Structure 1
């Protein structure tokens, strides 16, 4: 039995679909089961509740061999550590109590650089990893750069204004990966019954690419000019406050972007093993263009 958290999210739902295609027995933790597509709902066991709740995770992890762990950080949390570490404490205890053998988690790049000490969400993610590792479970932490799919959060401005925004320099080439590739790697590791020990597994996409490069590629894929606009860190933080984020979580987003702008995501050497296939051009043609243009 493999337990999947956040099964209605962008990565989680793809992990569920992949596991089912491989014939795995899947149990999901979900607050609102009605959000599961019927084709999925009828093929999985459902435990309703939050994966921050001790009773919920104990029920879900009973008899489970593996867990896919993803924390969708609460935008209104009182701190980044509360959003990641405190959220995960009941699950870490339940993993140990129920004898879960393998955990595959979604986390962030940065542990190899001092920039991770003040990198907002990244700092919280890495502290969460330490908590899970302390249980002694076999643990694979998938360390991520920014996702290509995050651009879908700016779909309206890309479509209507031909612009997208970030406080990161438009010329800085950074790794970027597609969530479908993350789900593929996670699925492989969840199904690997021979895995043991604990390690970080980087998922870097096929190339380092700048936001200005992305704008040029988007322009071609969409048939309309798209340009990148760099924001100040303060303006970036203000946007999140306007979206209803708490002060601490808005600051967490800003600190993360600042660290990335200073090279946080560049501390891992690219290898054939951590290079995933979906290029940004492919992602634009197959994901962004249909999302924007139908």
Structure 2
């Protein structure tokens, strides 16, 4: 028996034993795109979705882009140097979402269990944003200049490994970042049902500004 089938059956037995009939998973955008098979941690998320979808439970994968909350890791750099960094092109616009909007969709699905089968539910922010867009909003919100600095994938890999991360896991992050810069998150059209309600301006004022200016 193939290893994938063994894992699927084990997952199915575990869900059945716990009486679980509906499952909502946090996943990623990009399924079905040419980048899906070489997107590092995102590719692993798709494998997780396939495993859960094969258990017989009703399953919905929340297909998310990157989170606003990732910027909290940059709070000290923004405060001390007026800089935040990532590996994507400064002008690449992509969806971004607040975790509160993801949680709201998950809660709605878990409270209304009339749905059956398996599927994907995109959860996008209100609009696509580039790093330069984020810098502009932060500059306005904080009353001081904030700029974006693009770093290389090699520099990211070296930093992750230097902090003690397993090399394979670090490579998974690097591959995910590369795929996002090549348009992994761009394949889903925004609709009123998938847009989310929290703007970056709102999130920045409520969450990032206190973290930076405290």
Task: Say if 2:182 is the partner of 1:249.
Answer: no
Structure 2 Cα separation of the partners of residues 289 and 152 of structure 1? 10
The counterpart of 1:191, out of the listed 105, 111, 115, is: 111
Structure 1, residues 161-196: CA drift from partner, whole Å, max 9, x if none? 111111110100000000111111111011012121
Q: 1:218 to 1:88 in 2, by over 3 A?
A: farther
Q: Is the 8 A contact 2:9 2:55 kept in 1?
A: no
Task: Say if 2:156 is the partner of 1:236.
Answer: yes
**Structure 2 match to 1:135:** 55
For CA contacts below 8 A with separation 6 or more, give which structure has more relative contact order: 2
The counterpart of 1:179, out of the listed 80, 99, 103, is: 99
Task: Say if 2:42 is the partner of 1:122.
Answer: yes
Task: Say if 2:26 is the partner of 1:106.
Answer: yes
Aligned length: 209
Task: Give the alignment's TM-score, normalised by structure 1.
Answer: 0.68
**Aligned residue runs from structure 1 range 249-288, under 5 A:** 249-288=169-208
**Structure 1 match to 2:125:** 205
Q: 1:96 to 1:157 in 2, by over 3 A?
A: same
Structure 1 stretch displaced more, 97-106 or 177-186: 97-106
Q: Structure 1 regions of 5+ residues with no counterpart? A: 1-85
Q: Structure 2 regions of 5+ residues with no counterpart? A: 1-5
Q: Is the 8 A contact 2:83 2:148 kept in 1?
A: yes
**Structure 2 match to 1:151:** 71
